[in-house]
Structure 1
């Protein structure tokens, strides 16, 4: 039997009136919800902008692994490296089947929340020499949303190791007071050139290159190229 209007309890006066939801209260909750969504979006945009500043690309996937967002840097990297991976029909495609399989296994492992992978993972996309590989970091987002929603559930950070992160290199050079020639030498070493290769590429004598690297060692308080490279990567590779 359905209840009639006479069967419903009367609202009490005083404090008990708050137990009856009002349209005005509902509107306030909606406004608060919209504000919170706006704040989250602003924070997300700021985060993506920070990664864009160092040349990293951001891709967001939904629960079906479809691309729901790709930052500007992703478009730039894929335009230059489309032979190795691309976005087709809202899915990330790899040219090498073995890489595609590895990517699918990583996503599945994260979805199952295996202890070692519930926090994410990373792998490389090899390119033909002399290009360094692309680095793809996979990070899980919230797993509390329904499976059938289009809300982003996985974030990918795409890094092209051949792209120079300008802000970090500026900080590195300024912090150690390196000259232009010394900074250029550090860039070359970070790209894998030997001192001899660097000398030939920039038409310098080996003696001049050795003088530059001795000056860099002195300013950075390092003694070997291996120590210098570790310092360079600590500053320039996030």
Structure 2
């Protein structure tokens, strides 16, 4: 075994002769509680959240989660998280940081079911001494003191990782804590494997997918692993007609443009993470194909049983040579002619800079119009407004 990933705590001869490391009474009680909470998560409508709460309390963890990570490039495709500030997951998934995240890189290279930490109990150093500039900036901003994690399993080309960061006030993870985590490791593997099987056979999504063909609007359902569970006949016809979007052998939605494929996958992953938090926040992507443009509106699906969570995709096809109905926009969104013109640009997939240039106005004015549209219609984010504009005129 590579020394870099050797166990964090060499055992004594006495410990090596025992089948399991010795735990104190309170540690054994906490361990049993964690195992029970972990397996109860399979039958609880909060998913892994109760286990995360117990793990966070017992090990004084700051944030972390269970993440499905692809290789080459290293991207997050699904996950359950805890402790991160609002909006962090969305920003992180849609950035390049997963490819350069030292923690993810470290943990996917570990042997399965073996926890390791950055500091391994060394109080003379901080994690900031180890991390690169970008990760160090994030760690510094949240006061991170140490990070631990393990490779749970490799499934269909996806590395499933459990990780937990810790605040500097609590010092590095100790040898005793890592021993306890390693006792938990096979149970985490079992629970995650069972959970993934539930996702792959998500009956609620299958029932929903069967109902999609009763709707003439193009619709698709993605399961909680980011795979296409079903696409109705209208969606399949639209995919065939565009020639730019297709369902690959991996059962994921792809574009002929690799950069757009990445944006699609990141947006779907973001919606999956939001579904676990019960956040119904839509996102819209625009795929250009000659004079035709397809808008893909993604909305998290939140069901009674988290294993059936997923994403609903509504597909709209527009002719880019036709101008939006500005009178209808004014009426629906209670806005001025100038604001309606800006709204029309947003629903065509234009950026704020593009709109300013097209309308011969300053970027500041374009932003003010967007802020006014948000305020008048009760939206917090521009992504929500764009989704509603596309739906309203699609």
TM exceeds 0.5? no
Q: TM-score range by the shorter chain?
A: 0.3 to 0.5
TM-score (norm 1): 0.43
Q: Give the alignment's TM-score, normalised by structure 2.
A: 0.27
Q: Which has the larger radius of gyration?
A: 1
Q: Greater relative contact order (Cα 8 A, min sep 6): structure 1 or 2?
A: 1
